[in-house]
Amino acid sequence: MSALTKKGKGESMKEYDVVVIGSGAGMVIVEGALSQGLRVALVDKGPLGGTCLNVGCIPSKMLIYPADRIAEIQEAKKLGIDVTIVQRRDRLVRNEEPEISELLKREMAKRMKIYTNTEVSEVKKNGDGYTIIGRDKIIGEEKEFTAEHIMIATGRKSNADLLKVENTGVETDERGYVKVNDYLETSKENIWALGDAIGKYMFRHVANHEALVAWHNSIHTEEVKMEYRAIPHAVFSHPQIASVGLTEEQAKKDYDIVVGKANYSAVAKGEAMMETESFAKAIVEKSSMKILGFHIIGPYAPILIQEVITTHGK
């Protein structure tokens, strides 16, 4: 968000009180500024609504819901769809607890082929399909996979270079994300940044909150810090995963902890669902009994985690 005052080469440049670049969580700021009667410009290189609305959260959930139903009634095989996952690292979901990643792999391996520790080096068009060349990182052996379609899901990277933010004096970090302080101020006065552009927690619920904080700080002298204490995330895999706070490994570094685990089957509903493997894991500070982290794998995990968020850190 910035106030533009400079004129370009011989062009007349309109002046606004607030310029918002990006119409995802940026819309929160547009709304705030308009409600204050300010002159606002919204600039977006793509369709209105940003990633979440157009290609992210919303459309992916439209696919996940029917995919879940198909998996539940085990029709994937009947439909004759063969899926292969090729993963460079040793774990499928490396930011989750190792035992959660392991259970996910075991469960998914019942429905598809999974190759971990396998680095893809080449993809070739092969008639109507593709040939993918990979190498097993442990034994060094080359592997070949063929498929009709490929989905590349290797992560996200900054596109701050497109905007050439350095021309404004706004600094980026070594990964190319816009640097901000606790108040979401960039290195340049009167420019704030938020959401995926700052590369912290790349979720829509975080971006929305950051937008509120940035907007508040831009119009008040009493600034507030962006607080990242209890940020949940979910993996809409089958089984589902949800998590909030620290992992056991992270917590151990700074706290004396106790770890508790409970299987879904420990309660009657879980038993009735025949959920023998699904579980929840709590990481608690020994002295205060504060919940530092909570991790769930199993049905409705993203809904169940909300119960923990309300008490997280208390």
Ligand X SMILES: Cc1cc2nc3c(=O)[nH]c(=O)nc-3n(C[C@H](O)[C@H](O)[C@H](O)COP(=O)(O)OP(=O)(O)OC[C@H]3O[C@@H](n4cnc5c(N)ncnc54)[C@H](O)[C@@H]3O)c2cc1C
Where along the sequence are the contacts to ligand X (CB under 6 A)? 21-26, 43-46, 50-52, 55-57, 60, 159, 162-163, 195-197, 202-205, 207
Backbone φ and ψ for 142, nearest 5 degrees, come out as -85, 140
Our CB check for ligand X shows the closer of 27 and 251 to be 27
Our CB check for ligand X shows the closer of 290 and 300 to be 300
Contact at 8 Å (CB) between 113 and 84? yes
Q: How far is the CB of 5 from ligand X (least distance, A)?
A: 19
Which residue in the block uniquely carries the two structure tokens 């370009």? Answer: 8
Contact at 8 Å (CB) between 232 and 245? no
Q: How far is the CB of 201 from ligand X (least distance, A)?
A: 8
Chain center to CA of 158: 14
Q: How far is the CB of 112 from ligand X (least distance, A)?
A: 19
Taking the C-alpha atoms of residue 22 and residue 159, their distance in angstroms, rounded to an integer, is: 12
* DSSP states of 79-109: TT---EEE-SSSSSSTTS-HHHHHHHHHHHT
If residue 161 lies in a helix (H) or strand (E), which one and from where to where?
helix 160-163
Q: Are strands 40-43 and 18-21 parallel, antiparallel or unpaired?
A: parallel
Contact at 8 Å (CB) between 97 and 295? yes
Our CB check for ligand X shows the closer of 125 and 164 to be 164
Our CB check for ligand X shows the closer of 30 and 282 to be 30
Give the residue nearest to ligand X (CB).
195
Our CB check for ligand X shows the closer of 47 and 129 to be 47
Our CB check for ligand X shows the closer of 24 and 134 to be 24
Q: How far is the CB of 198 from ligand X (least distance, A)?
A: 8
Contact at 8 Å (CB) between 66 and 40? no
Taking the C-alpha atoms of residue 258 and residue 237, their distance in angstroms, rounded to an integer, is: 28
Q: How far is the CB of 172 from ligand X (least distance, A)?
A: 13
